[in-house]
């Protein structure tokens, strides 16, 4: 029996699926392109949807995301958020601090590391949260860059480039 690949699809919010936290208008074309990407990956294996967004810095904002945006976004994308991958940025920083860089206080992790680096440095218990294939979709990333680390492949997707490819 062939084991299907599992994918984590982590999303930024502002400029990626909504205009901004204060003005959460949906970016329909970009959401459609992300949904198409998720469906194409689902043909290869299960897709776990998650969150990695500066708009959701702490637990309060995570609660607001879950109550206000998660459900409608799940409907638009056709996929559900995995609770284990739907974290605030502070929670991601705590994972890196605890499992990889105990010398850095969680509050200083993002002074040293960006989003792709956080995914790179997840080790130990935190490593089991993510499958070996991770896609980070953001409006502020180089498109198509791939990071290989300890058997994990992290693909960076710029949502503007993804949307332009869909249109052509």
Distances (CA, A) of 85 to 23, 54, 62, 136, 167: 24, 15, 12, 12, 29
Which residues have CB under 8 Å from 60's CB, separation 6+? none
pLDDT at 143: 92
pTM: 0.89
23 vs 114, residue with greater confidence: 23
Tell me the backbone φ, ψ of residue 130, rounded to 5 degrees.
-105, 140
pLDDT at 60: 97
For residue range 80-123, what is the model confidence (pLDDT) as tens digits? 999 999 999 989 888 887 776 666 676 766 666 678 777 776 75
Distance, in Å, from the CA atom of 164 to the CA atom of 12, rounded to the nearest integer, reads 18
Domain ranges of the chain: 7-167
Residue identified by tokens 């949502």 is 159
Q: What percent of the chain has pLDDT over 70?
A: 86
Distance, in Å, from the CA atom of 104 to the CA atom of 117, rounded to the nearest integer, reads 14
Poorest-pLDDT segment among 35-44, 53-62, 108-117: 108-117
pLDDT band at 28 (very low <50, low <70, confident <90, very high): very high
């Amino acid at each position: 029996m062939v084991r299907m690949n599992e994918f984590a699809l982590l999303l930024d919010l502002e400029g990626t699926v909504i205009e901004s936290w204060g003005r959460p208008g949906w970016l329909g074309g970009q959401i459609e392109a992300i949904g198409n990407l998720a469906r194409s990956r689902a043909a290869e294996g299960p897709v776990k949807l998650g969150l990695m967004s500066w708009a959701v810095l702490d637990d309060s904002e995570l609660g607001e995301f879950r109550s206000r945006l998660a459900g409608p976004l799940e409907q638009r994308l056709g996929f559900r958020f995995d609770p284990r991958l739907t974290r605030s940025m502070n929670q991601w920083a705590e994972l890196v601090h605890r499992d990889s860089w105990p010398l850095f206080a969680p509050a200083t992790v993002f002074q040293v590391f960006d989003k792709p680096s956080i995914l790179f440095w997840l080790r130990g218990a935190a490593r089991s949260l993510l499958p070996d294939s991770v896609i980070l979709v953001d409006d502020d990333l180089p498109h198509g860059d791939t990071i290989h680390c300890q058997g994990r492949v992290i693909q960076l997707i710029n949502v503007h480039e993804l949307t332009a490819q869909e249109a052509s």
